[in-house]
Structure 1
């Protein structure tokens, strides 16, 4: 499990990608448009899409993905119970390595949770 600060991690990722956004604006805008369109409310709710995205991030072992999607889930009023239930599916499908990143996702949740959140 990582011991880094996920809030700082996502800030650092955004900062590091700044020059790429400037040098490759069309490609980066295309990625942004794909993300917005994919994560928009539809037949599947935005919250459920974020849970799916976090599950993929966990099973692909992407710490940055964990940070970004945990933050998004908190904005969408996901509960810790919903998070934990999805995390058990990650462990079921991804085994021990997914369990290690599940611990990371829980740490990120606690670290980024607004005061008084569940």
Structure 2
């Protein structure tokens, strides 16, 4: 498993370097990400476990690291995260099962 609290800052630093080289790309991503967060219908405590389930289906370790931290900050419970992950498992079968274990492990590292 990844050491998520150690990985996330390194990832953000690397993304910052990419952003310096391709600022319009990073700005476009940040606009899209911000728009999703501003929907107003789902709070972060609901949205972040959903995001973790999506992260599992896309097999994005960086996304898992960042969204597990966001879910912990939003005070999502382990049970809430665990209840969102079966959607990914159902949609992605075996690969999602492996990444769900990784996402739950990452969340555990973030929330203590």
Normalised by the size of structure 1, how large is the TM-score? 0.84
1:48 aligned to which of 34, 46, 49: 46
Matched, 1:87 2:85: yes
1:18 aligned to which of 12, 16, 21: 16
Partner of 1:68: 66
Task: Give deviations 1:27-83, integer Å, cap 9, x for gaps.
Answer: 212211221121125122233222222111101111111111111011111111111
Task: Give deviations 1:71-106, integer Å, cap 9, x for gaps.
Answer: 101111111111111112221221111110111011
Compare the two structures and name the one with the higher helix fraction: 2
Question: How far apart in 1 are the matches of 2:39 and 2:17?
Answer: 30
Question: How far apart in 2 are the matches of 1:23 and 1:109?
Answer: 31
Partner of 2:96: 98
Work out whether residues 40 and 46 of structure 1, in 8 Å CA contact, stay in contact via their aligned partners in 2. Answer: no
Matched, 1:38 2:36: yes
* Count of equivalent residues: 112
Structure 2: stretches of 5+ with no match in the other structure: none
Pairwise CA RMSD of aligned residues?
Answer: 1.5
2:3 aligned to which of 2, 5, 9: 5
Normalised by the size of structure 2, how large is the TM-score? 0.88
Work out whether residues 4 and 106 of structure 2, in 8 Å CA contact, stay in contact via their aligned partners in 1. Answer: yes
Work out whether residues 2 and 106 of structure 2, in 8 Å CA contact, stay in contact via their aligned partners in 1. Answer: no
3-state SS of the aligned residue for 2:8?
helix
